[in-house]
């Protein structure tokens, strides 16, 4: 394959004329076949179009033009389009368009071989199966050039330079430590400023007053008393509110953030902080909430839900 900076060339008139087949004795079937281009890139698509013009009373066997009859050298068949046109006076034209492509980069010219299509003379009232072929026509083969940006002689292509690298001038070698020092000096202030911003972001928290926290907890407890615990949906809603209420109390009142911890992780976290909250009661409440919300045994009984509410009230009493 030859390397070319230009795209595939369009077929000239002479190329098309050379691809045309001779009329079969000027009597029965005329064949015209040609590619729509004379060259293609790898993975491009080309179309090989065959026109068969049958005179009056003559027809062809279309089975001779199917994909299993093609002889391809380097090309691959993508699809076939066919059409039949009646041009009057008994003249019929068949058009077959073979859509081809190629992924072969080792073959500069790829071909489609010759085809032979049988034809027969139609008789009134006679079935096609009973008609013997009157002859056949030859559909000429054709070739298309495949271009690629790869060089023809790949073994001679030089991808790496065998020459040794040139030494840097002495001036650039001397200033290299200075450059590294300037980079480090500029990084240190930026890193310190980033640490300050991160620290401010972590410490930035909305501080609510004790009165506001108590008011919200009291409102949540009153809402729990109004929930119908006799229904499964009511108990699930109660467990959701208890879980949110206890975790918010531990964060806002006791100063221990346990929002992202599981019930099993809460006890070690509270013990490490030295809080006055009843660690075992907090862990039991959150474990009951997890079981009701995510467990496979359902939300439990009404008595268990009421016990969990009472335990939550014990946790809320810690200030």
> Residue 204: inside a domain, yes or no?
no
In a domain, 77, yes or no: yes
Q: Are residues 143 and 215 in the same domain?
A: no
**129 shares a domain with 226:** no
Query: Among residues 292, 189, 173, 209, which one has the least CA distance to residue 243?
Result: 292
Compute the distance between CA of residue 59 and CA of residue 116 in angstroms, rounded to an integer: 14
| 43 occurs within a structural domain | yes
* Greatest extent of the chain over all pairs of C-alpha atoms, in Å: 111
Final residue in a domain of this structure, among 147, 172, 201: 147
Q: What does the pLDDT look like over 56-97, one tens digit per residue?
A: 888 888 888 999 999 999 899 999 999 999 988 889 999 999
Q: With cut-offs at 50, 70 and 90, classify the pLDDT of residue 243.
A: confident
pLDDT (0 to 100) of residue 54: 92
Q: Report yes or no on 162 lying in a domain.
A: no
Residues 43 and 134 in one domain: yes
31 and 137 housed in the same domain: yes
Q: Is residue 215 part of a domain?
A: yes
Structural domain including 123 reads 13-147
Length of the chain in terms of residues written: 319
The percent of residues above 90 in pLDDT, for the chain, comes to 19
What CA–CA distances, in Å, run from 246 to 152, 157, 288?
76, 73, 12
By mean pLDDT, which of 22-26, 43-47, 172-176, 210-214 is the weakest? 22-26
According to the model, what pLDDT value does residue 204 have? Answer: 54
| CA atoms of 45 and 75, how far apart (whole Å) | 10
The verdict on 118 and 38 lying in the same domain is: yes
| 220 touches 245 (CB < 8 A) | yes
What are the residue ranges of helices labelled H in the chain?
13-19, 170-203, 210-226, 232-252, 263-273, 279-294, 302-316
What CATH number corresponds to the domain at position 107?
2.60.40.10
More confident residue, 24 or 257: 257
Show the tokens assigned to 124. 């009134």
Q: How far is CA 191 from CA 179, 194, 298, in A?
A: 18, 5, 51
Which of 147, 180, 197 terminates a domain? The answer is: 147
Give how many domains the chain has, as a whole number.
2
- 69: in domain: yes
Where is average pLDDT lowest: 96-100, 204-208, 255-259, 287-291? 204-208
Rounded to an integer, the average pLDDT of 106-116 is 90
Q: How confident is the model at residue 104 (pLDDT cuts 50, 70, 90)?
A: confident
242 is written with which tokens? 């208890």
**Boundary (domain end) residue, out of 147, 167, 198:** 147
Residue 99 resides in a domain: yes
The mean predicted confidence, pLDDT, of the chain is: 80
Angstrom distances, CA of residue 139 to CA of 70, 117, 127, 177, 180: 11, 7, 26, 76, 74
Instruction: Look up residue 193 and give its two tokens.
Output: 């400023």
Please return the burial class of 312, using the count of CB atoms within 10 Å of its CB with bins 0-12, 13-18 and 19+.
Answer: buried
Q: Per-residue pLDDT averaged across 197-201, rounded?
A: 76
Q: Domain for residue 201, yes or no?
A: no
Task: Say if residue 306 is in the same domain as residue 217.
Answer: yes
Considering the domain architecture, whether residues 110 and 223 belong to the same structural domain is answered as no
Residues 6+ apart with CB under 8 A from 115: 50, 64, 65, 69, 70, 71, 138, 139, 141
């Amino acid at each position: 394959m030859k390397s070319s900076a230009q795209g595939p060339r369009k077929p000239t008139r002479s190329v098309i004329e050379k691809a045309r087949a001779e009329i079969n004795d000027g009597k029965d079937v005329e064949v015209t076949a040609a590619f729509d281009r004379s060259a293609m890139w790898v993975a491009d698509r080309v179309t090989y179009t065959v026109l068969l013009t049958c005179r009056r009373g003559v027809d062809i066997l279309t089975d001779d033009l199917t994909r299993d009859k093609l002889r391809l050298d380097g090309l691959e068949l993508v699809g076939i389009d066919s059409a039949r046109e009646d041009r009057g006076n008994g003249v019929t034209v068949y058009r077959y368009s073979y859509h081809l492509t190629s992924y072969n980069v080792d073959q500069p010219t790829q071909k489609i071989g010759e085809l032979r299509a049988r034809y027969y003379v139609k008789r009134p009232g006679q079935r096609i199966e009973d008609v013997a072929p009157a002859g056949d026509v030859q559909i000429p083969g054709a070739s298309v050039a495949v271009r690629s940006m790869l060089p023809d002689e790949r073994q001679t292509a030089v991808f790496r330079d065998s020459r040794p690298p040139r030494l840097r001038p002495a001036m650039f070698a001397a200033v290299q430590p200075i450059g590294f020092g300037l980079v480090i000096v500029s990084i240190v202030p930026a890193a310190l400023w980033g640490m300050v911003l991160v620290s401010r972001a972590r410490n930035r928290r909305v501080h609510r007053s004790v009165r506001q926290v108590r008011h919200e907890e009291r409102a949540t407890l009153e809402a729990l008393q109004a929930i119908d615990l006799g229904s499964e949906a009511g108990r699930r809603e109660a467990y959701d509110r208890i879980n949110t209420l206890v975790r918010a109390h531990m964060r806002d009142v006791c100063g221990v953030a346990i929002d992202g911890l599981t019930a099993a992780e809460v006890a070690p976290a509270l013990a490490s902080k030295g809080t006055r909250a009843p660690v075992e009661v907090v862990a039991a409440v959150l474990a009951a909430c997890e079981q009701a919300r995510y467990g496979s045994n359902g939300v439990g009984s009404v008595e268990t839900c009421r016990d969990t509410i009472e335990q939550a009230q014990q946790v809320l009493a810690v200030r």
